[in-house]
Structure 1
């Protein structure tokens, strides 16, 4: 497969500044890397805020050194592989899990790469100053014609999954991993705060495929909530938080016992009380997983958690194996991603695309850039 010596990429030169289209050398894969021709790269509703405000909001979590090529969720076609890569080949259709770790610390060696102190999202941000080494190793995000990633980060996608759908796997995978951490499965009832949003809708998509008996979803927009319910009408119940207590909603649908698992997908600006109401909707022995990043100190009664044998996890992302499981569920016909409404723009329109994300159809909207 012919690869050009140069490529077009969108680079940011100053915090909050526009991304500029530039010609850069096409990166070359290392021995255990792959070079991917990007066909679609996902962008999320809060990307504009992240590019403009992240260093102020979270100075302890660095972004790639400027000038930088961002882009979190690329999907495309393998163009070349390193000499020690044997399970992948040019022409393979793939999604790149952007989670990067050192690969050699004790956490990485035991399969817990997200615990690595070097952990970072390629083309996005890291979780400590140690992530700067990771950005040096893999500096190019998905808003470019080509990007290089470790072969261990590659998810092979089936022909029935479009590149646009694959570019959503990052946020779908965050919920899928949370469902697995909560041991959600046959017979269970789960509660999802923010089910109609970019994150939460994944619970309505993957929960039924994992055998979850009942999904209780909350949000504000009643019309949007009804559209989510329509994805699996007999298994999804929805509730607007403007109509009362999330706890009472959970208890009503579990005969007073409480839900088996609670996923909070609410964003940083959400009320603490809505999160706490979800916690109080757990049954004895239930599991809560936070993936929405409600900000600030939250007053949690840890004595209650202990007495009720409950667990509260924070879950930042998902593994490549979990990404492959999602793709395999689509390949098997167990999951249908056709409800995603793609709004795609060319790389030359990336700044307009980022500024226009405020207008969206909840979690049904799927924004991508075509490099």
Structure 2
């Protein structure tokens, strides 16, 4: 494949300002990297807020140096490989996990890459000032036509998984990693809050694929909840928080007073704590609660009860490339149903309009992508 010298990229020059479509050099491949021609890049529902408010909300967690190319969830085709890349070949279809780590710290050498002190979301934000070194190494997010990526970040895509579907692996992986940490298994009852949203729907789909026997979904929109239940009506029950019955009473009724084995909180920073606290009160002995939504503020958890009932509260952020491969394989085998997503695709030139239009969506069923 002929690789051009320059390419189109969407770059943000100032925090909160619209992105500009510019011509920039195609990056050169280093020895352990690959060059990916981006076919689809997911845009997360929260991207607009991050671009406008991140430096105020979390000044200790840096954005990439401006002007920057954002784009968290790219999928595409490898067009060149570095001299020390042996497994991957041009023509391979891949998803690029944006999690970057240094490879040399104790956590990396121990295989705990997400605990790396340099851990960074390529094309999004970093977790400490040390992320700036990673941004120097990988300044290209997915909102451009070509990007470099370390070979450790790649997920091989089955032919049955489209690039648009693969661009959803980020949000799916967030749920998958949390469910794995909680050791989900058949026979369990799982409740998901925000069940009709982007994170919550992913948790529902993965709980189905990973064998949970009963799944309870809680959200606001009754129409979207009906669509969630229709995914597996014999295993899924749903409830709108606008109903009169309390969450606790509903859970006890649905479980014959046995309660929950696992609760997954997908409520974002703007939401309240009511559902989380209600779910904690109906966890079984030994039950687990997982937060993947980044709910904000001080949460008054009854730690005495957590101790007495030997319950666990787990925070889970993102996922590894190996976990991404698990999901791609599940999708290829049909145990992860990715056909439910309604892809809303826009060309790179319409990135600003696409970001501003994300609120007009069918909950988590909408999958917003950019085609560079």
Q: Same fold (TM over 0.5)?
A: yes
8 Å Cα contact 2:192-2:204 kept in structure 1: no
**Whole-Å Cα distance in 1 between the matches of residues 278 and 322 of structure 2?**
33
Q: CA deviation at 1:203?
A: 2.0
Q: CA deviation at 1:223?
A: 1.0
**Whole-Å Cα distance in 2 between the matches of residues 183 and 134 of structure 1?**
32
Once superposed, what is the RMSD of the aligned Cα atoms? 0.9
Q: Per-residue displacement from partner, 1:23-81 (whole Å, max 9, x unpaired)?
A: 11111121111110000000021111110111111111111011100000000000111
**Whole-Å Cα distance in 2 between the matches of residues 254 and 60 of structure 1?**
43
1:327 aligns with 2:321: no
The equivalences for 1:1-371 within 5 A come to: 1-243=1-243, 244-371=245-372
**Whole-Å Cα distance in 2 between the matches of residues 183 and 248 of structure 1?**
26
**Whole-Å Cα distance in 2 between the matches of residues 302 and 173 of structure 1?**
29
1:124 is paired with a residue of what secondary structure? coil
8 Å Cα contact 1:204-1:232 kept in structure 2: no
8 Å Cα contact 1:204-1:231 kept in structure 2: no
Deviating 4+ runs (over 3 angstroms): none
**Whole-Å Cα distance in 2 between the matches of residues 159 and 38 of structure 1?**
16
**Whole-Å Cα distance in 1 between the matches of residues 325 and 69 of structure 2?**
26
**Whole-Å Cα distance in 2 between the matches of residues 59 and 249 of structure 1?**
41
**Whole-Å Cα distance in 1 between the matches of residues 137 and 258 of structure 2?**
50
Q: Per-residue displacement from partner, 1:310-355 (whole Å, max 9, x unpaired)?
A: 1101101011111000000111122221110000000001011111
Q: CA deviation at 1:251?
A: 2.0
8 Å Cα contact 2:190-2:262 kept in structure 1: yes
- In the alignment of these two chains, the number of paired residues is 371
Q: CA deviation at 1:202?
A: 1.0
**Whole-Å Cα distance in 2 between the matches of residues 41 and 155 of structure 1?**
14
Q: CA deviation at 1:298?
A: 0.9
8 Å Cα contact 1:258-1:284 kept in structure 2: no
1:284 is paired with a residue of what secondary structure? strand
Q: Which runs of 5+ in 1 are unaligned?
A: none
8 Å Cα contact 1:248-1:281 kept in structure 2: no
Deviates more, 1:229-238 or 1:267-276: 267-276
1:249 is paired with a residue of what secondary structure? helix
Using the size of structure 2 for normalisation, the TM-score is: 0.98
Q: Which runs of 5+ in 2 are unaligned?
A: none
**Whole-Å Cα distance in 1 between the matches of residues 127 and 179 of structure 2?**
23
**Whole-Å Cα distance in 1 between the matches of residues 304 and 361 of structure 2?**
41
